[in-house]
Amino acid sequence: MTVRSGNSARTALAAARAERAADIDRRLTGLLAGPPDDGPLDGALDGDRGERAVALVTVGGHARRDLTPGGDLDLVLLHRGRPDIAEIADRVWYPVWDSGIRLDHSVRTVAEARDVARTDLKAALGLLAARHVTGDPALLGELRAAVLADWRAHARTRLPELAALCRERWAAHGELAFLLEPDLKEARGGLRDVHVMRAVAASWVAPAPDGRVQDAHDLILDVRHALHDVTGRATDRLVLQEHDAVARALEFPDAHALKHATAEAARTIAHAADQLWRRVERFAAGRRAPSGRRPVGDGAVEHDGEVVLARGADLDDPALVPRVAAAAAQHGLPLAPATVERLAASAAVPRPPWPSAARDALVSLLGAGPAAIPVWEALDQAGVIVRLIPEWEHVRNRPQRDPIHRFTVDRHLVETAAGAAALTRDVARPDLLLTGALLHDIGKGRGGDHSAAGAPIARDIAARLGFADTDARVLRAVVRHHLLLPHTATRRDIDDPATIGTVTAAVADVPGRERETLELLAALAIADGNATGPAAWNAWKARLVAELARRAAAALSGGTPPPPPALGERELALARRDGVAVRVAGTRVTIAAPDRPGLLWRAAGVLALHRLAVRRARTVSSPGTSAGTAVLDFTAVPEFGSPPEPAALEADLRRMLADRLDVADRLERRARARRVRPGTPVPPPRVMVVDGASSTAAVVEVRAHDRPGLLWRIGRALGGRGLQIRAAQVDTLGAEAVDVFYVVDARDRPPADPSVLEAVRADILEALA
């Protein structure tokens, strides 16, 4: 939803600024010329290029003719060394001061002004956009040519300095789009960023801001102008108590519509700034040949530091958009602007219910943590997110009603999901945690309790995303009760059994999934609180929530694991063959092979060599299989390209079983060759020995960020301690692996010595480091 202000109000403000600029120009011209009885200054206004020449130049807002009522006038008096320049300056400055206009002024020769611009970035930015007011125009022409030449000649060093200044400014003033009381000029996405973009464009390193950015700039400029009018003060901070008055001045329906439009404009500017500074970064690193095209996912390649579509990418593939986005986020790379435009214009979006590949890719995108935010923002700016999740339009750019929030509703949801990515080790279903984090406030702005309003919406979205009905009901419960733990922990006596009963009753919406729902709510409370702001989350509240969750968990029991996959007739026929047999049906890879210790993880290693990412793995026991034959059931997807031929897989499996294939060496070579980009941290792996989960085996649970050969590394660590995997349940949910292994010793019993399991735990952590 885009709400526009009244065109008449904004047109009137633009006309007022233009008239003000013309009026100031007329007055300044008269001041420099002097009183009528004195006549014009000798050589000042007649174009004399000798030592008597003088020129009055304006920079900043007046130079752009967008000076608002509270804006400063910034003037430079240029000359060629006139001895009476001080008297001329006084003739201009004093009347300006007397008029009440705030004045920043300087008097310089052309050479002096050029020297200042060489050392002072702010002075250089002003002179790049300077405008002649009166006097000899040749002086400004000479100065501008010199400043531009210096700016372009030293762009490789000066632009990174300018980027650093911008980052400092953003750190001090925050993001305009997401602040309740933003600085319209200095915050990220504000007016200053557009001025900087124009300066960068003057270096010829990047193009000038496009029409969308200019329109966004003009809207924020009008808001600033109206703010100066209604307050009568020179202020750039749009404080809460002025929202209504500014909205009325600009003919917005209400303050909410004003904030919505301002946030949209600021996000447009900030997104354009991100693209500009990436271009500057590449330029500053030195002009060099393109770095080539490196696959980063199916349909996506890295090219010159950005993710672009691979040649031949199938735009009709419903999973392409989330998969390419996930590839970019997981590698800590931005999506190339042209790629975003192409996806927005031509790529298909999944039809409900989403195929599992599309849903997994969406979860993988969210699981990338903070690296997902710029990728999500790029897609959102292009209108892709609303196509994927139509309900997103209702929360997009929606201001928060509570000042403790740092972000608009939509950005808060994305920030919460990014924060939840660090907590995926704490829950059995990372995919439900990340999805619940993204949707927990989806009901805001619909009236009444947003948790109650959002719960059915979340369930509908989950169903469209292709989640099973019980999973969709869990997500509904998570959204409905996402404030349960923090509110109860801080407002009730957690020593009272009735308090614990309130929590356990609330999480009983989905029978058999109570503990799972509780742990999801506990993790979401942390992510939600941190994304809200320091006033919403602190160590005291964290301790109370953790203790309440612990006590509620102790009062619950049970849980329902998913049923094991059943073998069809084709898989059973495969198992009856002698030797090794492989069947590939879409993403399902079934392997029948002579049973031996370590078969599961060794086979997973062979799949990894063929660039198949294991999403699920099971050891299957079914009647009718030959004695001594093991059946392994994998769900595996190609990292990119087409799946391998079954004959090639069979050949490598036979070589592996005959000890003629060094899987470890080949996987390690792949790992060393894989470039890891800094700045994309993931939570450390977690390895747990689950006490009491089985009487016939030790249960080892591993939660880690998925990567090629993960199952191989875990299995080899188990095998190195003489343990065998009796059964395994391996799942990859988005980008997170949740693997459970039932392990026994050489006598087919649970290890009797606890130190063995502790050593195994340490070995697995070391293998995954």
The answer to whether 635 touches 614, Cβ cutoff 8 Å, is yes
Write down all domains in the chain, each with its CATH number in brackets: 7-153 (3.30.460), 156-284 (1.20.120.330), 311-554 (1.10.3090), 569-768 (3.30.70.260)
Q: Which helix (H) or strand (E) holds 703?
A: strand 698-705
CA proximity to 217, closest of 17, 394, 413: 17
Average pLDDT over residues 265-281: 93
- In tens, the pLDDT along 183-228 reads 999 999 999 999 999 999 999 999 999 999 999 999 999 999 999 9
CA proximity to 451, closest of 509, 511, 386, 534: 509
Token digits of residue 252: 């917005």
DSSP 8-state class, residue 163 = H
3-state secondary structure 225-293: HHHHHHHCCCCCECCHHHHHHHHHHCCCCCHHHHHHHHHHHHHHHHHHHHHHHHHHHHHHCCCCCCCCE
Number of H helices and E strands in the chain, helices first, is 30, 15
The answer to whether 408 touches 480, Cβ cutoff 8 Å, is no
Question: So what's the pLDDT on residue 670?
Answer: 72
Query: Rounded to an integer, what distance in angstroms lies between the CA atom of residue 174 and that of residue 188?
Result: 6
Question: So what's the pLDDT on residue 651?
Answer: 87
Token digits of residue 327: 């590839």
In DSSP notation, 520-543 reads HHHHHHHHHHHHH-TTT--HHHHH
Question: So what's the pLDDT on residue 769?
Answer: 79
Residue 202 sits at φ, ψ, to 5 deg, of -65, -20
CA proximity to 620, closest of 578, 576, 564: 564
Burial class (CB in 10 A: 0-12, 13-18, 19+), 67: buried
CB atoms within 10 A of CB 16: 14
Question: So what's the pLDDT on residue 640?
Answer: 74
Average pLDDT over residues 692-720: 85
Query: Rounded to an integer, what distance in angstroms lies between the CA atom of residue 431 and that of residue 354?
Result: 15
Token digits of residue 125: 């930015």
- Cα four-point dihedral sign 367, 370, 373, 374: negative
Token digits of residue 656: 């592996």
Q: Phi/psi class of residue 234: alpha, beta or left (left: φ > 0; alpha: ψ in -120 to 50)?
A: beta
Question: So what's the pLDDT on residue 705?
Answer: 85
Q: How confident is the model at residue 561 (pLDDT cuts 50, 70, 90)?
A: very low
Asked whether residue 316 carries a pLDDT value surpassing 50, the answer given is: yes
Q: How far is CA 230 from CA 242, 246, 315, 727, in A?
A: 8, 7, 51, 72
Token digits of residue 727: 């059964």
| Strand 306-309 with 300-303, pairing | antiparallel
Question: Which of 78-82, 302-306, 573-577, 678-682 shows the lowest mean pLDDT across its residues?
Answer: 678-682
Question: So what's the pLDDT on residue 563?
Answer: 42
Q: What is the dihedral of CA 324, 325, 326, 329, to 10 degrees?
A: 120
Percentage of residues of the chain with pLDDT beyond 70:
90
Query: Rounded to an integer, what distance in angstroms lies between the CA atom of residue 486 and that of residue 309?
Result: 43
DSSP 8-state class, residue 453 = H
Side-chain-side CA neighbours of residue 685 (13 Å): 24
Question: Which of 385-394, 573-582, 748-757 shows the lowest mean pLDDT across its residues?
Answer: 573-582
Query: Rounded to an integer, what distance in angstroms lies between the CA atom of residue 315 and that of residue 343?
Result: 8
Token digits of residue 288: 């060099």
CA proximity to 249, closest of 17, 8, 68, 16: 8
| Strand 73-79 with 103-109, pairing | parallel
Residues forming a β-bridge with 612: 638
Query: Rounded to an integer, what distance in angstroms lies between the CA atom of residue 213 and that of residue 626?
Result: 68
Asked whether residue 574 carries a pLDDT value surpassing 70, the answer given is: no
Could you give the 3-state DSSP secondary structure of residue 16? helix
DSSP 8-state class, residue 640 = S
What does the mean pLDDT of the chain come to? 87
CA proximity to 523, closest of 439, 433, 458, 413: 433
CB atoms within 10 A of CB 578: 9
Predicted structure pTM score: 0.76
Q: What is the dihedral of CA 17, 272, 343, 373, to 10 degrees?
A: -120
Query: Rounded to an integer, what distance in angstroms lies between the CA atom of residue 199 and that of residue 125?
Result: 6
CA proximity to 752, closest of 729, 726, 725, 723: 723
In DSSP notation, 85-144 reads HHHHHHHHHHHHHHTT--EEEEEEEHHHHHHHHHH-HHHHHHHHT-EEEEE-HHHHHHHH
Question: So what's the pLDDT on residue 620?
Answer: 65
Between 353 and 543, the higher pLDDT residue: 353
Average pLDDT over residues 625-639: 74
Could you give the 3-state DSSP secondary structure of residue 294? strand
Q: How confident is the model at residue 588 (pLDDT cuts 50, 70, 90)?
A: confident
Asked whether residue 625 carries a pLDDT value surpassing 70, the answer given is: no
